[in-house]
Amino acid sequence: MENLLRDFPVVIKIPVAWGEMDAFQHVNNVAYFRYFESARIAYFERLDLITFMDQTGIGPILASTQCRFKIPLTYPDTVSVSVRVPQIEADRFVMKGIIVSHNHQKTAAECEGLIVTYNYREQKKTAIPPELKQRIVDLEGWARGK
C-alpha cells in the first residue's frame, strides 16, 4: 500500500462509517467525494492557506471535480486518501488524489479537481500569487527533483 501513496505529499486516514453505506451494500459514491474533499482541505492546511486568505483575500475555489471508481468500499474499512498537485497554470492548478482501501490494499478510486485561484474580496478569479505557488512547489518537493 505504501507504494501506492509514495508520490503524494499529503495522506490522511479516514474510517469508513456504517452510515456511508447505501441500499446497494457498498459505500455511496457521495462519500468518495467527501473523502477527496477532506484530503484537499488537509493539503490546503499544509499550505497555511487560511492565513494566506485572511491576509490577501485570495484563495482556492473548486471549478470541477471528478472521480473514477475502481472497487466498492464497504464497512468496516479504513481508507488512506492522498493528494498532490501535478500541474500549475497561471490562475489554476490540478489536484489529483487516490483513495486506497486498507482491507483490499488497493486503489478504490482516483479523483481529480480543478482549483481556480479566486479573489474573494473582488469576487473574481486571479493569478496565483508567487508566494502561494512557491508553497505548492515546496510541499510537492519539486525543488528537490521529486
Q: Give the residue ranges of DSSP H helices in 1-146.
A: 2-5, 29-46, 49-56, 130-140
Question: Does the pLDDT of residue 58 top 60, yes or no?
Answer: yes
In whole angstroms, what is the distance from residue 125 CA to residue 131 CA? 17
In whole angstroms, what is the distance from residue 8 CA to residue 10 CA? 6
Residue environment code for 42-78, b if the CB has 16+ CB neighbours within 10 A, otherwise e: ebbeebebeebbeeeebbbeeeebebeebeebbeebe
Question: In the chain, what are the domains?
Answer: 2-140 (3.10.129.10)
pLDDT band at 143 (very low <50, low <70, confident <90, very high): low
Residue 27 DSSP one-character state: B
Mind listing the pLDDT tens digit for each residue in 1-26? 788 899 999 999 999 999 999 999 99
Mind listing the pLDDT tens digit for each residue in 76-123? 999 999 999 999 999 999 999 999 999 999 999 999 999 999 999 999
Question: Does the pLDDT of residue 146 top 50, yes or no?
Answer: no
pLDDT of residue 144: 54
Task: Confirm if 33 and 65 have CB atoms less than 8 A apart.
Answer: yes
pLDDT of residue 142: 85
Question: Does the pLDDT of residue 145 top 60, yes or no?
Answer: no
pLDDT band at 47 (very low <50, low <70, confident <90, very high): very high
